[in-house]
Structure 1
């Protein structure tokens, strides 16, 4: 798939999911697919489902927290003992 086609799909996802540039950056950083984002748009019957931009932000925050905890544990393991 060429770059132009990929950009078109991301532009379509941005419009349909009402995403901003920051949220798109988060999604790309996590390796999410724009088609999967469009599939997760909640309809009227899915009131329990969060909007896509909130879903991405929550997932990004959880992953960053998990990575920070893992880095801290690794740092503590390598810390010289007195």
Structure 2
């Protein structure tokens, strides 16, 4: 299942036949995948470089290296994000249980003893 925030990246990868590395470079550069159509118009505007080369040139200019050190696909990013969210939910649930458990013990020990 694709996240709505990631959907434009999936569409751009398919439409412009970009690799995982190119998508990651474009994401790190903060590019807008919805604007790739105007950047990838080298057929009608021959002075433009192909989109893959344009992304690689911009990435090299900004980061000083030709590609990211560790390339992760969009699917891997979504999976890692789901794992992170699940851990966070579990941690919150554990904390909620611990807090309600502590309140119950505290109330029992500090309650007024009528006996």
TM-score (norm 2): 0.49
The answer (yes or no) to whether the contact 1:18–1:53 under 8 Å persists in 2 is: no
Count of aligned residue pairs for this structure pair:
63
- 1: CA distance between counterparts of 2:56 and 2:49? 11
Relative contact order: is structure 1 or structure 2 higher (C-alpha 8 Å, sep ≥ 6)?
A: 1
Corresponding residue number in structure 2 for 1:54: 53
Instruction: Give the CA deviation at 1:39.
Output: 2.5
Q: CA deviation at 1:38?
A: 2.7
Which digits, 9 at most, give the CA deviation of each residue in 1:1-31, with x for residues without a partner? xx72222211111112221000111011111
Higher alpha-carbon Rg: 2
* Structure 2 alignment gaps of length 5 or more: 65-115
Structure 1: state its 5+ residue gaps.
Answer: 66-82
Q: TM-score, normalised by structure 1?
A: 0.67
Report the Cα offset of residue 43 of structure 1.
4.6
